[in-house]
Structure 1
Amino acid sequence: MDRENEFDRQFRPDIVRVAPDRNVQLMKLRREQMERRLEALRVRGRVPRVVLYARTVNGQSADRSLAAAREFAERLGWQVGRDQTFTDCLSLTVPEDRYGWLQIRQHVKSGFADGVVALTRAAQPTFRRVRDRTELVRHAQRFHRPGARRERGAAVSPPTSRRGPAPWEASR
């Protein structure tokens, strides 16, 4: 695969390429790991037991974040205990300094929970970027015609349709 990619880079410079986003790759790995764990629980006939986690800013309440995490877990049919919510201050960057996170780890190690549901702001912009890049590539491919040569700086026109004039030309 790497040889093919290198060949394409060298001998097919006209192909539109988008470099893989590391955040997307990390999310994909996390998702695959989660799906493996959920499948293992299903095989045993167990419903996943999760705890909720949120990080707060300047001592603000995490009620909305925890409510959204609870709604997500309940929508998937996961069990959330009544007192299974934990919070930490956003300014604590090292996981070992976060008391709530340490409690969650202890719950999981002790077998009281199978996982954690937490909101992340990082996922939304990443998905938006991926969607935008995908749309850009699709848009660029509409204008790319294999085998057509262009001079540097020449304008590119969209492919013509054989069905008749374009809607903006029909009124003339």
Structure 2
Amino acid sequence: MPLALADELTEFLDRAAYVYQWPLYPPPESCSPERPRSRRAPAWMDAERLTAERWHPDEVRITPDQIVRLGITRREALDQRLTHLSAHGRTPRVCLYALTPVRNQPPRSFAAARDYANDEGWRVCADHCIADGLPKTDPMHRPGWRWVLNLVRAGHVDGVVTLTHTEITQHLDEYELQLDLVDHHGGFVALVTPENVGAKRR
């Protein structure tokens, strides 16, 4: 199958799954325990840290909290992307994402996310308020979040605004993976409420 046709088919299936809330993958409960979900491989900095700990076990080290580290990484990617867009004279285009326990009921967090985007001077794209009703599943099992990634990958939006990082996932390993995916597609994640108290608002 030609690559362009395969991309179009993937986009069509993602859009259909979002509209009708179809699960595109088996639920996590059906996954075999012998085949755990893959996680991101350790970065070269992590490898160097492990080596240093092995050869110098007596050194005093302070390991940063994972949520603090992820918050710093997210804000750095956000600032870098905004700088790039500003240099090209572009106003960032964003979509809004939220979880809702009630089908077809717009989440109240959309209002807070929209206010945040407007305060930043970003443009909220029409019809790009995306909600999922599957809060306890892996983000990649949610049609709405997959549609967010598709919009970023296709260049229809530059980023996504959501209320907190728990709207994406409560599990930090999964959160890190989704940040990597958005960054890989050239987008950014902006939070109304930062990951940790006292962090820079973005």
User: Is the partner of 1:57 in helix, strand or coil?
Assistant: coil
Match of 2:160 among 116, 121, 124: 116
Unaligned runs of 5+ in 2: 1-51, 167-190
Partner of 2:122: 78
The offset of 1:60, in angstroms, is 8.0
| Aligned position for 1:36 | 80
Query: Alignment partner of 1:20: what SS?
Result: coil
Letter in 1 for 2:159: G
CA distance in 2 between counterparts of 1:85 and 1:35 reads 23
Quick check: 1:50–1:81 contact (8 Å CA) kept in 2? yes
**Residue identity (%):** 39
Matching residue of 2:196 = 127
Q: Given the alignment of the two structures, is residue 100 of structure 1 paired with residue 144 of structure 2, yes or no?
A: yes
Contact kept, 8 Å, 2:134 with 2:142, in 1: the verdict is no
Identify if the C-alpha distance between structure 1 residues 57 and 126 changes in structure 2 by more than 3 Å, giving closer, same or farther. Answer: same
TM-fit CA distance, 1:107:
1.3
How many angstroms apart in 1 are the aligned matches of 2:126 and 2:89?
22
- Asked if the contact 1:92/1:98 (under 8 Å) is kept, the reply is no
**Once superposed, what is the RMSD of the aligned Cα atoms?**
3.2
Greater C-alpha Rg: 1
Aligned partners of 2:142, 2:97: CA distance in 1, in Å? 11
| SS state at 2:157 partner | coil
Match of 2:101 among 37, 57, 68: 57
Q: 1:51 to 1:94 in 2, by over 3 A?
A: same
Structure 1 match to 2:69: 25
- After superposition, the Cα gap between the structure-2 partners of 1:57 and 1:18, relative to the gap in structure 1 and judged at 3 Å, is farther
**Shift in Å, 1:96:** 2.6
Q: Partner amino acid for 1:78?
A: W
Check conservation: 1:55, 1:62, Cα contact below 8 A: no
What TM-score results when the alignment is normalised by the length of structure 2?
0.51
Instruction: Please list, as runs of the form range in 1=range in 2, the aligned pairs for 1:138-153 lying within 5 A after superposition.
Output: none
Secondary structure of the residue aligned to 2:196 is helix
3-state SS, counterpart of residue 45 of structure 1: coil
Q: 2:132 aligns with which of 88, 96, 104?
A: 88
SS in 1 for 2:137: coil
Note the alpha carbon deviations across 1:59-118, whole angstroms, 9 max, x for none: 483431010000000000000022110000243522232111121122112211000001
SS at match of 1:51: strand
Q: Secondary structure at the match of 1:83?
A: strand
Q: Would you say how many aligned residue pairs link Structure 1 and Structure 2?
A: 122
Q: 1:87 aligns to what SS in structure 2?
A: strand
